Amino acid sequence: MKLQKNSRVPLHYQVKDHITKQLDKGVFQEGEQLPSEFYLAETLGVSRNTIRQALLALVNEGRLYRERGKGTFVMEKALQRGIPALTGFHEYVKGLGKTPSSQFKLIEITKSTARIKRLLNVREKDEIVHLHRIVGIDGKRAGIHEIYFPLAVWRKIDTPINKLKNTSMYTLMSRNCGIDLTYGDETIYVRAASEQESAELSLPPKSAVFVISRLLYDQNDAPVCYADNIYHPEKFKYYIKYIKPS
């Protein structure tokens, strides 16, 4: 590319536009390291400071990220979610053209908390099933799912933990239980990660995490599953399109 040095558009804007177009065309892939500032400056015929300004602008926009002592890399695209749809993690990620993965680390029968029992409409003395799984996108860890079932529902699913790897819970509920998931309540918020969550998501202590809490109902309006889905802050974003009222 030949920069227009006599243009009213500053050189660092031109460099930024050039790199943006390369990113959009897929010249540099997600996670790939960009050429050095020295190489880019030599190639484009500008100063390293100009290159640095352009790269910093793209870092601030979330297109690139920098690692001290290593260089500048292409930011991975976040899992983007619009108006909630009644789909599971596996189905949603596949719909984005990416490859989902999941592995359960824990399945336990527990008394849990009064709040979760109230959400699942079970008696205080009843037990529920808690599942803890790690989910990934394109081979990279993206989040943690804390899933809760009434014991009666889980007994119908009745699948050993070694057969749950990379399995959709929505499919299991439909296939094994005959549950027709008809609607759900969803809450989205940000909070500080716990010590365990920070370790499992490779985050600094007390980093912010993106949480989606979801309560699902069957065709009889009975709550059948509650989950806290905790995502790495760089792996998820939420968007809403607004329209003018008619």
Amino acid, single-letter form, for residue 205: P
Euclidean distance between CA atoms 144 and 228, whole angstroms: 8
Would residue 97 count as lying in a domain?
Answer: yes
Residues 183 and 134 in one domain: yes
Nearest to 234 by CA among 201, 205, 212: 201
Cα 63 from Cα 59, distance rounded (Å):
6
| CB under 8 A, 24+ apart: contacts of 119-127 | 119/215, 119/223, 119/226, 120/148, 120/149, 120/150, 120/223, 120/224, 120/226, 121/150, 121/222, 121/223, 122/150, 122/151, 126/150, 126/151, 127/151
* Residue range of the domain that includes 159: 79-238
My answer on whether 94 and 201 are in the same domain is yes
Would you give per-residue pLDDT tens digits along the chain (246 residues)?
678 877 778 888 889 888 988 888 888 888 889 999 999 989 988 999 989 989 988 887 778 888 878 889 888 766 555 545 567 888 888 877 789 999 988 889 988 788 999 999 998 888 999 999 999 988 889 999 999 999 988 888 877 777 888 888 888 888 777 788 888 888 989 999 999 999 999 999 889 999 999 999 988 889 999 999 999 887 776 666 666 665
pTM of the model: 0.66
Q: Cα separation of 147 and 129, whole Å?
A: 8
d(CA 221, CA 234): 35
Domain limit, last residue, from 35, 50, 74 = 74
The answer as to whether 5 is a domain residue is no
